[in-house]
């Protein structure tokens, strides 16, 4: 657990609480609950959280030696298997923590936003598990490309509210959830899905996710007798990234790589106000969005740009303020991988290791493919989630490209709809 000051809303210049006045009492109440229950374990909150993470969530997740990749790269590659957590992604750590906290706080209703649907799914599961009513906001573009997760939320009893404004992705869903919260703040807890938003969310979400690095660090020492040379994690909002890095931040000999979505290009289309990537750590500027000062994709006037990634979970114009700070401090190295390389890495990990990764995760492996000579002799890569949710996207995007490594998809064309 982090020892930084729970009351300090900033990470250097980043962070803060830039929210409508109606929400300020709620985030103050939340900051107090975070201090008491999470940091001080009042009423045994953290004991119950850890117990539920084990029994309901399936922790600890393994740290697996990747035989084929290690041989291919002549580097010992270890996979932190968050895809094996209940629900298929690291998201459950945070969702379970926050829904349980809402219960301790006496809240009656849960709301959340989701991009790829993994956070929405995890929140719906946690809410069902803890018997709380739950509504999820999701952009209509994301609903279309993440149908399996939409069904999973509904199956777990959550309402899914489509967001039609803007491009209908995570950015719009967050704004819409904040509007709901501003109306219902007295009875409702907003389960923010990443290390973004106003204080205390970035610290609290990091702490719930830091179980990843806590386990990975111990498991690595147990298996190798030492710390890894590098830790890699994909970065969208940054919850998986901060969770994977948190316990390594003080280990200065361990290099930390945050792998962002380079999308189709790092160049910005100023005319259309579109960034064809989601690389806010690599290319963004400082600004204020969704409650925090952080690095953002924005135009010269400060209007937020539409972002892009093949992966819905990385498709966001901002990033957590602590990551922005760690990048400025030189502790975290931001790198990026484009859509093509991520898709290729998706197929490689699936074929070489029998692990079908989320497209988010595939970005981290895309970086490893191109830079395995630079990351040292032992590297830990967080498999942030499993790729089942992305299969429709993968089929569609693979069919548009000439990828040597991809399976022959003509099988689908041959059988067409006749197999039904």
Partner 1 sequence: MSLEAAFADEPAFVPYLAAGDPTYGASLEYVEALARGGADVIELGLPFSEPIAEGKTIQDAIVRSLEAGMTPARFFEFVEDLDVDVPVVCMTYYNLIYQYGAEEGPGPFVERAAEVGIEGFVVPDLPAEEAGPLREACDEFGLDLVFIVAPTTRGERLETMMDQVSGYVYVQARLGVTGARDDVDDATEESLARLADWDVPKAVGFGIKTGEHAERIVSAGADGVIVGSALVDIVAEGHESGAPVDDVADELEAKARDLKEGALRGAQERPQPERT
161 binds partner 1 (CB under 8 A): no
268 binds partner 1 (CB under 8 A): no
CB atoms within 10 A of CB 212: 29
91 is catalytic: yes
Element spanning 399, H or E: helix 391-399
291 binds partner 1 (CB under 8 A): yes
Q: Which of 113, 363, 334, 360 is nearest to 245 (CA)?
A: 334
Q: Which of 73, 84, 83, 82 is nearest to 378 (CA)?
A: 73
Token representation of residue 331: 């502790």
Task: Let me know if 351 is exposed, middle or buried by CB neighbors in 10 A (0-12, 13-18, 19+).
Answer: middle
Partner residues linked to 139 by β-bridges = 163
Token representation of residue 307: 């972002």
17 binds partner 1 (CB under 8 A): yes
384 is catalytic: yes
Q: Which of 391, 396, 398 is nearest to 356 (CA)?
A: 391
Site string for partner 1, 227-266 (x = CB under 8 A): ----------------------------------------
Token representation of residue 69: 């990749």
In this structure, are residues 195 and 202 in contact, taking their beta carbons and an 8 Å threshold? yes
Site string for partner 1, 18-37 (x = CB under 8 A): xxxxx-xxx-x---------
Stretch that binds partner 1, among 13-21, 82-90, 92-100, 323-331 (CB under 8 A): 13-21
At what angle are helices 339-353 and 359-371 packed, to 10 degrees? Answer: 90
CB atoms within 10 A of CB 214: 16
Stretch that binds partner 1, among 63-71, 173-181, 234-242, 389-397 (CB under 8 A): 173-181
407 binds partner 1 (CB under 8 A): no
Query: Can you tell me the distance from the alpha carbon of 143 to that of 116, in angstroms, rounded to the nearest whole number?
Result: 8
Give the one residue of 110, 178, 205, 232 binding partner 1; rule: CB under 8 A.
Answer: 178
Token representation of residue 417: 């709809």
Give the one residue of 11, 14, 16, 338 binding partner 1; rule: CB under 8 A.
Answer: 16
215 is catalytic: no
Nearest approach, Cβ of residue 184 and partner 1 (Å) = 8
At what angle are helices 91-104 and 45-55 packed, to 10 degrees? Answer: 140
Annotated catalytic residue, options 278, 280, 350, 384: 384
Whichever of 271 and 413 has its CB closer to partner 1, that residue is 271
Annotated catalytic residue, options 91, 103, 171, 389: 91
179 binds partner 1 (CB under 8 A): yes
297 binds partner 1 (CB under 8 A): no
Query: Can you tell me the distance from the alpha carbon of 319 to that of 330, in angstroms, rounded to the nearest whole number?
Result: 16
Stretch that binds partner 1, among 172-180, 339-347, 393-401, 409-417 (CB under 8 A): 172-180
Residues of span 299-338 touching partner 1 by CB under 8 A? 300-304
Whichever of 154 and 179 has its CB closer to partner 1, that residue is 179
* Chain centroid offset of residue 122 CA: 12
Q: Is residue 92 classed as helix, strand or coil in its secondary structure?
A: helix
Judged by CB under 8 A, the number of residues near partner 1 is 37
Nearest approach, Cβ of residue 188 and partner 1 (Å) = 11
Strand order in the sheet with 255-263: 63-65, 76-81, 378-383, 230-234, 255-263, 332-338
Annotated catalytic residue, options 80, 82, 113, 306: 113
112 binds partner 1 (CB under 8 A): no
Nearest approach, Cβ of residue 196 and partner 1 (Å) = 13
Site of interaction with partner 1 (CB under 8 A): 9, 16-22, 24-26, 28, 165-166, 171, 175, 178-179, 182-186, 285-291, 296, 298, 300-304
Active site residues: 91, 113, 384
């Amino acid at each position: 657990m982090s020892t930084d000051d729970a009351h300090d809303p900033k990470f250097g210049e980043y962070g803060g609480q830039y929210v409508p006045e109606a929400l300020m009492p709620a985030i103050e109440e939340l900051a107090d609950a975070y201090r008491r229950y999470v940091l001080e374990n009042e009423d045994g909150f953290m004991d119950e959280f850890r117990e539920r993470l084990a029994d309901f969530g399936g922790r600890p997740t393994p740290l697996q030696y990747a035989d084929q990749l290690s041989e291919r790269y002549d580097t010992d590659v270890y996979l932190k298997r968050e895809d094996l957590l209940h629900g298929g992604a690291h998201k459950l750590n945070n969702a379970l923590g926050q829904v349980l906290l809402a219960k301790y706080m006496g809240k009656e209703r849960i709301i959340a936003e989701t991009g790829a649907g993994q956070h929405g799914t995890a929140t719906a599961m946690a809410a069902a598990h803890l018997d709380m009513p739950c509504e999820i906001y999701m952009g209509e573009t994301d609903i279309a490309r993440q149908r399996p997760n939409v069904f999973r939320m509904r199956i777990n009893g959550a309402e899914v509210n489509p967001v039609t404004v803007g491009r209908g992705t995570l950015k719009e869903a967050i704004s819409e959830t904040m509007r709901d919260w501003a109306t219902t703040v007295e009875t409702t807890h907003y389960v923010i899905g990443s290390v973004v938003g106003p204080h205390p969310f970035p610290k609290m979400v990091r702490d719930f996710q830091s179980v990843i690095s806590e386990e990975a660090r111990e498991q690595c020492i147990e298996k190798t007798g030492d710390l890894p040379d590098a830790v890699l994690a994909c970065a969208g909002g940054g919850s998986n990234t901060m969770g994977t890095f948190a316990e390594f931040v003080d280990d200065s000999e361990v290099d930390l790589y945050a792998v962002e979505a380079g999308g189709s290009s790092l160049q910005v289309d100023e005319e259309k106000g579109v960034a064809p990537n989601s690389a806010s750590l690599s290319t963004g500027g400082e600004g204020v969005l969704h409650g925090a000062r952080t690095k953002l994709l924005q135009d010269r006037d400060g209007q937020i740009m539409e972002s892009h990634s093949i992966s819905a979970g990385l498709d966001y114009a901002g990033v957590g303020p602590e990551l922005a700070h760690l990048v400025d401090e030189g502790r975290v190295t931001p790198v990026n991988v484009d859509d093509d390389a991520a898709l290729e890495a998706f197929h490689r990990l699936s074929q070489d290791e029998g692990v079908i990764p989320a497209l988010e995760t595939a970005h981290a492996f895309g970086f490893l493919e191109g830079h395995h000579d630079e990351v040292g002799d032992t590297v830990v890569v967080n498999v942030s989630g499993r790729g089942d949710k992305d299969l429709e996207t993968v089929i569609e995007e693979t069919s548009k490209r000439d990828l040597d490594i991809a399976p022959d998809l003509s099988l689908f064309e041959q059988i067409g709809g006749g197999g039904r």
